[in-house]
Each structure stands twice: as structure tokens, then as C-alpha cells.
Amino acid sequence: MPPLDQGTLVLACGPRVLGFPGEAVREIRTWQAPRPLPGAAPWLGGLLSEDGVPWPFLRTNFWGESPKPPEVFVLLAWGERLLAVPGRDPWMVRPTPQAGPPEWGDGPWAGTMEAGGMKVALVDLRQLYLMLGLH
């Protein structure tokens, strides 16, 4: 497995398989449901806090509905901003980007790649954080 800073973390998120920059991954933890926040932004599934630092969670269905519940959450950082992403089956690969965004339309996509015989949509964290208002 490549080191985090030289690879792409592949994660099943809802019905999609996504790739996140390895250098942005702070931790991968066993799934723990976040504390819901009534009236929160539509993307926000809740918060967890550790050492007084809040971790906003994406909703489990942010990327689409899945019949399987999350197994893990991945704590990502873009600068000082943290974001927890729920998913399943995390693994690291060396990036082999291909041209073009996935066929899913608009989104925070940086391109696509093949990994393990699957098409993986690469997530542009800057675009994702801007889309969520976490800049």
C-alpha cells in the first residue's frame, strides 16, 4: 500500500466509489454516528467532538442512497478545516488519473481513475469545501 501522501484513498460512499487525496486523510475510524444538529445545513449529518475540536460529518446519503450502512468515517483536512466522510471499504492506491469528470454531472470532481476494476471519481477537496461553505 502506498504511503498516504503518495496515494489516493478509495472509499465506497453511498452508491459511488470516490477517491480522496491521501495527503488530506488525517484518520480512518470505525463508524460512530455523529450527534445530529436540528436545523443544520442540508449536507451536515451531525458533529463529533474530540479534544474540543468539532468534526462536521457529511450526511450518510450525501453522495446518494445505499442499502449498506457506513463502516468507517474518514477524517479529512483541507488546511485547518476538518470534515468527516462516512463510507465503506477504504483502501489506498497509487493515483492513475484519467481525463474527464465522472458521468454523474456537476460536483466537486477532479477527474476519474480505474482502481480494482472500478471507476473511481476523484474528489477535488477545494471544490467540495467551497460547495459546503467550509472555506
Number of domain units in the chain: 1
Range of the domain at 13: 4-132
Report the pLDDT value the prediction gives residue 5, as an integer from 0 to 100.
Answer: 60
Report the pLDDT value the prediction gives residue 109, as an integer from 0 to 100.
Answer: 87
Q: What is the pTM of this model?
A: 0.88
Which CATH number characterizes residue 78's domain?
A: 2.40.50.180
Confirm if 94 and 8 have CB atoms less than 8 A apart. Answer: yes
User: Tens of pLDDT along 1-40?
Assistant: 445 567 899 999 999 999 999 999 999 999 998 988 899 9
CA distance 132 to 122: 17
User: Tens of pLDDT along 75-87?
Assistant: 999 888 899 999 9
Confirm if 87 and 12 have CB atoms less than 8 A apart. Answer: yes
H or E stretch including 130? helix 125-132
**Cα–Cα nearest to 133, from 35, 57, 41:** 41
